[in-house]
A and B are shown apart, each in its own frame.
Chain A
């Protein structure tokens, strides 16, 4: 029996407009804990889809699993061979019970077409005890927490002949205790000779658990490394292809006044007693993991998630924030965390997306929209932010991630805001676009705008902000001033990396 569990050669995958994988080789050993890292768009998700058989590679690839040569392409095929994937957006059935979700693939081993409910219950209980999970079997999955749902998925995965478990960004929304629990489970699996492919961009976790690390960049495999031979900086360099040197933002003007003052803001089941100020020209970072309340807070400031209590003052004026139209009117703009679903209307034109926030100022004399004014405004922003576009009438979805993000920024900068809230402003865009977004943000601050930058990426907030608020479970825990010890501080005190 070969030492390799999975052995892939010459894997290429094309999507309309993108070459997601470019002639990649990739291998996994039996029972190893292997990390796959890479920036967004590096091809790692596509690789997972190919390994799990969800998509088929272009002809010419050679795929071997467990010594057998595969034709690839069908999920069933790979599932039969012992591959299971747990995606970030979990693949459970919310309307079904815990036991049914766990035993879904088998339905209690019953041959024929009927379900043996007793066997379902028994097998589900067995699977749960293997990973030490305790839950009411008949509870509906919709009522579980994310961490519990993840464990249910792992329990489901080990039901069959599991040989390889793939976890896609499994820790994004887990607390430290939950992460420890997950790592325990992974070690349990290893003891049973089950390999784990762990996809993550949290470098500290990689160093904590991985036996080998494979780095992907621009659809290519840069090789498998021993984590002991790498350090954090080296890994970042491998992933991004450049040494990151970011200029810290220029100090805030001494006589700059307070622009935004948030006092004792609370919202039930979102966040409690949040207070902070933002000065003119200041970049304030908010860091916290998914579910810390950071986005909920931002949405409250943008009027889309009205707070229950507390006040928000802008330039000394108290604001009523119950709709985002009010917030925009007052001078608060918000670049949402998800560009695809919230930031832009993808199938519509660049022109329309760029101007939608300010249509009322683009009217002609007849009470109709002025085509000239719209074009002029859009053209203006395209050149100011150096957005690469084919033409203004093209759909935004034809642009690259970085250029799309610039369109989102433009559409909000066009409203001439006093406060700009950026929620994960550089997710899924390449390093060059990332740098230019950061440079733009600093420039805007120098021109007097107040900026709130929300991120779960420590390096992003530390290198771009004047101050950083740490948020967890709806509270602001501390304020950190970026400096030599800040990174260590965040890691040791708040486990943020």
Chain B
């Protein structure tokens, strides 16, 4: 029984060498955090905090991941999310009559979500069109739309914060089902759907292929441009879902919310085994990395570490992950050479 588990673990390790270290890292971080906080890390309030903060970062990281698998990057995820959030907030605060009945409010909540998601999909489609059809490099295309979307949001809000959303909408970021924050459930559902899409649908196979070699993919009869378009729409939609969760949790929307999250999404993707040069990356690895980072974040919070120190630390960690991957690749190449001589 034990031997069986062991061989199965080794097989898993061999096929998942990119994320094989993550479970150990997870355990190590958990133990260190418990020790440093003298157990308060495992307190209910901290766990609940962790669970309610994780989804928005997780959703944005998924949005980053799908772009990265195509050997691209989506720098516009945060500004897309903010623009969608502002649009939803406007629907809920400006369009909705002040003294609306509960049924009306609910229908406006649904309407706002639909419009918000449509907005985010549209913003993603602009990226996808530029990258797939105009063939603009993803970095520059999404850098441009990042500025543009943020500018549009600023122009709409004139720099102000929109708040005062109806309670019914706020449930999406504050209620719990069976003790689990509702946004956590949303994240879980989205992660499972995305995972199926990537692993079990033809689109998923095409996505990884485009990331590794778009030319050979095109020669295989795949419409590469459409795959890219769909990917950035997916990325936009994931940002839109993140926008719903954030808007509901903070009860406010503005143009520059969460701009520090961009680094974290890249860090989570890289730590979770997504290759920035494309072709590789999975939801499971990303979720592991997400949990690790969220634990570190909330641990640092508990310990009262300065938030700017945390920002610098994330940057350093990103460099650390890149160094680690580099060393790993080097070692692999060395091994390949040694087998011969």
Contact = CB atoms under 8 A, between A and B. Distances in A.
Contacts of A344: 216
Given A16-B333, A341-B216, A346-B212, 10 more contacts: A14-B341, A16-B340, A17-B340, A304-B218, A304-B219, A334-B219, A343-B219, A345-B216, A347-B279, A347-B280
A341 B215 contact: yes
Interface of B: 15, 196, 200-202, 205-206, 208-209, 212-213, 215-223, 279-280, 333, 336-337, 339-341
A343 B205 contact: no
The 7 A-B residue pairs whose C-beta atoms are closest, nearest first, are: A16-B336, A368-B200, A359-B202, A342-B219, A345-B213, A345-B212, A347-B212
B337 A324 contact: no
Nearest to A12: B341
A343 B223 CA distance: 15
Contact of A328 (B208, B217, B221): B221
Greatest chain A CB density within 10 A among B15, B205, B280 is at B205
Contacts of B216: 341-346
A313 interface: no
A19 B341 CA distance: 9
Contacts of A359: 202, 205
Interface string A1-29: 00000000000001111110000000000
A346 B213 contact: yes
Interface in A308-330: 323-325, 328
Interface residues of A, number: 32
Chain B CB within 10 Å, residue with most, of A18, A344, A348: A348
B217 A345 contact: yes
Contact of B340 (A14, A343, A352): A14
Contact of A17 (B196, B219, B223, B336): B336
Contact of A368 (B201, B208, B218): B201
B219 A356 contact: no
26 contacts: A15-B337, A16-B333, A16-B340, A17-B340, A323-B223, A324-B219, A324-B221, A325-B221, A328-B221, A336-B219, A341-B216, A342-B215, A343-B216, A345-B213, A345-B217, A346-B213, A347-B212, A347-B279, A348-B208, A356-B217, A356-B220, A357-B220, A359-B202, A359-B205, A368-B201, A369-B201
A352 B219 contact: no
A341 B201 CA distance: 24
A483 to B, nearest CB: 35
A356 B15 CA distance: 21
A348 B219 contact: no
A360 interface: yes
A18 B340 CA distance: 7
Contacts of B206: 356
Contacts of A355: 205
B85 to A, nearest CB: 32
A436 B221 CA distance: 26
Contacts of B219: 304, 324, 334, 336, 342-343
A348 B202 contact: no
B215 A357 contact: no
Nearest to B332: A16
Contacts of A357: 220-221
A304 B217 CA distance: 13
A411 B220 CA distance: 9
B209 A352 contact: yes
The CB with the most chain B CB atoms within 10 A, among A14, A341, A356, is that of A356
A359 B340 CA distance: 37
Choose among B15, B201, B202, B222 the residue with the greatest number of A CB atoms under 10 Å from its CB.
B202
